[in-house]
Amino acid sequence: MAVEGKSLRWYTKLAYGLGHFYNDLCAAMWFTYLLIFYDKALQFSGVTAGAVMLAGQLADGVATPLVGILCDMKFNNRFIIRYGRRKMWHAVGTVIVAFGFPFTFNQCIGCSNMSETKQAIYFCSFATVHSVGWTFVQIAHLALIPDLTSDKKQRTELISIR
């Protein structure tokens, strides 16, 4: 719960900003390099490259409200209560992104000689995994702001730091 009238320390702000750094790096690669990578490096058609991106974006769109509901749920688990429900979902999302993201930007492991359609299914599955993990991190990180402070100015500062 947010502490009323108490200013956040500089290291709390720094830690909050760093909590979204990996997600931002992944998003930068996703939105700027994904289509180029599939087109130029893997020699996929534009339709296939677009389908992989669309699969990830659809997964993100479906997961966003569900993750929002999960982030707001209260749990009776001692670990979750001690660690914090927002931070728990943030950690879960970070692990999912760390697992799914490298496979999105790599050769199809074990199927690089298969048809483009089969490779697209492989990449769509990892794009979906990555996007759901990304959503967990994004939503949990944003939901953490009201838990850190109730001051509008500090909330705005935290949003600008991230």
Q: Which residue type, as a one-letter code, is found at position 153?
A: K
Mean pLDDT of all residues in 5-23 = 87
CA distance readout (Å), 73 to 35, 97, 115, 143: 36, 22, 43, 12
- pLDDT greater than 60 at residue 1: no
User: What pLDDT digit, counting tens, does each position of 82-138 carry?
Assistant: 778 888 899 999 999 999 999 999 998 888 889 999 999 999 999 999 999 999 999
Are the C-beta atoms of residues 130 and 56 closer than 8 Å to each other?
yes
Beta strands of 20-130 (E only): which ranges?
A: none
pLDDT above 90 coverage of the chain, percent: 64
pLDDT for res 133: 96
- 140 pLDDT higher than 90: yes
Quick: pLDDT tens for 68-95. 998 888 877 776 667 788 888 999 999 9
- pLDDT score at 74: 81
**Residue 4 pLDDT > 70:** no
pLDDT band for 63, please (50, 70, 90 cuts).
very high
Higher pLDDT, 4 or 78: 78
* Coil, strand or helix at 149: strand
> Buried (b) or exposed (e) across 94-122, using 16+ Cβ within 10 A?
bebbeebbebbbeebeeeeeeeeeebbbb
State residue 62's pLDDT score.
Answer: 97
Cα 43 from Cα 49, distance rounded (Å): 9
**pLDDT of the residue at 129:** 97
Quote the mean pLDDT of the chain: 90
Question: Residue ranges of the domains in the chain?
Answer: 32-161
